[in-house]
Every structure is written in C-alpha cells, then in structure tokens.
Amino acid sequence: MRTALTDVVGCRHPIVQTGMGYVAGARLAAATSRAGGLGVIAAATMPVDQMTAAIRAVKERTDAPFGVNIRSDADDAAERVEVMIREGVRVASFALAPRRDLISRLRDAGVVTIPSVGARRHAEKVAAWGVDAVIVQGGEGGGHTGAIPTTLLLPQVVDTVDIPVVAAGGFFDGRGLVAALAYGAAGIAMGTRFLLTSDSPVPDEVKKVYLGTADTLVTTRVDGVPHRVLRTPFVESLERSRLRLLRAVLNAARFRRLSGMSWAGMLREGRRMRHGRDLGWAQVLQAANTPMLLKAAMVDGRADLGVLASGQVVGVIDDLPTCAELIDRIMAEATAVLNGLTRLRTAPAPSPTRVIPPGGR
C-alpha cells in the first residue's frame, strides 16, 4: 500500500510503531521495520552511548528504514542529533515538543522529521518549521495525551496542513487503517498494540496485566501532565494520596540510587520538565523520577510498583503476535475492507419495485 507516508519514509506499509520508553528498543524497532512498518527506537530514556548501540543493533538486523525518538529539552539533545545524522538514521521523532533549531539541523542533513502533536495549532506551528510529516495523537492514546478524540482531531489537522499526517490513538487493526485513510491520513501509528507483541521486551507477567484489563485513566499524578495509564492499585494510590511530597521524595531517592544521578541533577531535570507548567515541588520530583516508574514495570516486571502507559485499545487486544504477523494481518484486513467498499461502489442498483394499483395489471 503506497501512501504519502511510505513515499517520504521508504517503508512498505503505512504503519508506525511509536517510541515507548523502556519498550521500543532495538529488538522491537528492528522487528517492526523488518516487517515493513516503521520501527522507532525510544531513546529518550537511554544514555547517548546506549542510544548509539541501539541504532547500530537495528542496522545489523535490517536495512529497512527506522526512526529514533528523543527529547528536545534534554541537555544533550544536540549531541543526540549529531549521532543520528552520523549513523544514517532515516527518521527523527520527538517525545513532547520539538525544537526548531533541531528540526532545521536534521532536515539539512536529510533526516525525515516527524513530530507528534495533540492540537491543531501545534500541527500548524511545526508545519511552518518545515517538518516532513506529523503524527496526530487523539485522547484515546497512551502516555502523554490530550483531550480531543482522534476522530475530531485528525480531520482538523488534515484540513489545516499540507504535509502527510499520521493518525495515532485508538488504532489496532486494518479497519482502523482504512478509517484513518478515509479521514485523509497517510498512515497510522500504534503504541499499545506493538507493546503487546511477542517481539516486545516487556516481561510476560506485565503483558498479562495488560491483557487482563480494559480499564485506563488519565492522571496528572505521574509527572504533572495528562498521562493515560492502566488503572492499577499503585496508580489509584497516587490518585488519592495526600502525602504526595513524601511519596515523591521516596521515589526520587530510589531512582537516584539506581540511576546514580545526583540530587542536583534530579532537581534540574524536574525544573526542566516543570517549565511552562503549573507544577508543585511534589510534581517536580515525581516528574524527575518518572523514568523510574516506567522502568519498574516495563523492565523489572513490577507492575505493582510502576506505571503502565496504555491506550484505550488495550480493552480489545487479546493476543501477542509477532510484529510481522501483526502487520501482515492489519494489511490483509485493510485490503479486505477496501475491496468490500469497492464492491459497494460498483454493485448494480436494485431494480425498482413495481407497484400495481388496485384493479390494474
């Protein structure tokens, strides 16, 4: 299936695997790109040397295009951009807001830039900067999300910008891909659906938690901004806790011990995440150690002590296919749906019913 997305990126199918911290490493990104989609390394939670190693690992496993997702507000963002350019990464995406100077540097080097947005005005802004495409995530999506549903946000953006638009939030099958194309999108991006594959590195016991629930909520108690996660006892305790500063300090201390980060470094990270937001110091500390909450679940397998980001589609997912099986299935479903719509369009009109008046022939 050829779309504006496949043309600009070079992948075979208009399906993007989103960058998910501690989930989308070399293994998942390579499996996705090898299967014809666009795999994305979530490098925002990796040190630079680990990001470099992940890029090289994907290149060893496939010659298909792939992307890297970074945080533009990181102290070493410029260094990460240079690594991506040097290593020949095809696509750059961004966790949270991008930066115009980074977009310009990447584009000048021939790297395709695809930021994510949750509002029409944000799409207009980055389109004016000269990005190659944009991912539009509606409120159904997991992780940081807005309040506007995909079905309303997507057509707004498609009608506003003249670059390829990728739809995210609520997609998991071929019907969704066709629906996105009908709205004018050039493809779909999925996070939760790729998290729940056999190629995902998430521990099996955590995947079972995902498969066993359909309940998510949007909370600001993780890092101060809306974050869609699974409703777990741990998240509910965050929601109702009145000792938020104490809990944040304890979590921050645990993260500092494991990460080796200094208290000063953690506070700098928290202030950076606090910039432009109305956050108290409890949220600043919580924001600074959010990676620890993600790592606890996604790496250590402690769903009882961590945060499980999830889109609402978790309630309709019940299997763990490989990335290749998933993408092949989505494309087969999409083809079947498109063929069915074509038959509706070309089917002969039914003959009109002849009405015989009383006493007539």
Mean pLDDT of 108-135: 97
Tell whether 254 and 119 lie within a shared domain: no
- Looking at residue 25, its amino acid is G
What is the pLDDT, as a whole number, of residue 221? 77
Give the gyration radius of the chain's Cα atoms: 22
Among candidate residues 137, 167, 201, the one where a domain is terminated: 201
- Looking at residue 307, its amino acid is V
pLDDT in tens, 136-178: 999 999 998 889 999 999 999 999 999 999 999 999 999 999 9
pTM: 0.88
DSSP single-letter state for residue 15? E
Note the residue count of the chain.
361
Of 173, 170, 168, the residue nearest 333 (C-alpha): 173
Domain residues for the domain of 184 are 4-201
CA atoms of 236 and 307, how far apart (whole Å)? 11
**Number of domains forming the structure of the chain:** 2
Element (H, E) at 202: none
Residue-wise over 285-310: b if at least 16 C-beta within 10 A, else e?
bbbbbbbbbbbbbbbebbbeebbbbb
pLDDT in tens, 276-301: 555 565 566 666 667 778 888 999 99
Residue 44 within any structural domain of the chain: yes
Residue 338 within any structural domain of the chain: no
Tell whether 47 and 148 lie within a shared domain: yes
Q: 259-267: which pairs have CB atoms within 8 A and are 24 or more residues apart?
A: 259/291, 259/292
CATH assignment at residue 160: 3.20.20.70
Record the tokens describing residue 59, joined without a space: 């290149």
Among candidate residues 152, 171, 201, the one where a domain is terminated: 201
Tell whether 44 and 178 lie within a shared domain: yes
Tell whether 225 and 193 lie within a shared domain: no
Tell whether 69 and 186 lie within a shared domain: yes
Residue 318 within any structural domain of the chain: no
The answer to whether the CB of 289 falls within 8 A of the CB of 266 is yes
Record the tokens describing residue 347, joined without a space: 């089917």
Residue 329 within any structural domain of the chain: no
Among candidate residues 152, 172, 201, the one where a domain is terminated: 201
Of 48, 46, 39, 43, the residue nearest 15 (C-alpha): 39
Residue 328 within any structural domain of the chain: no
- Looking at residue 118, its amino acid is G
Tell whether 151 and 209 lie within a shared domain: no
Tell whether 163 and 236 lie within a shared domain: no
CA atoms of 275 and 198, how far apart (whole Å)? 38
What is the pLDDT, as a whole number, of residue 285? 61
Mean pLDDT of 227-234: 93
Tell whether 246 and 278 lie within a shared domain: yes
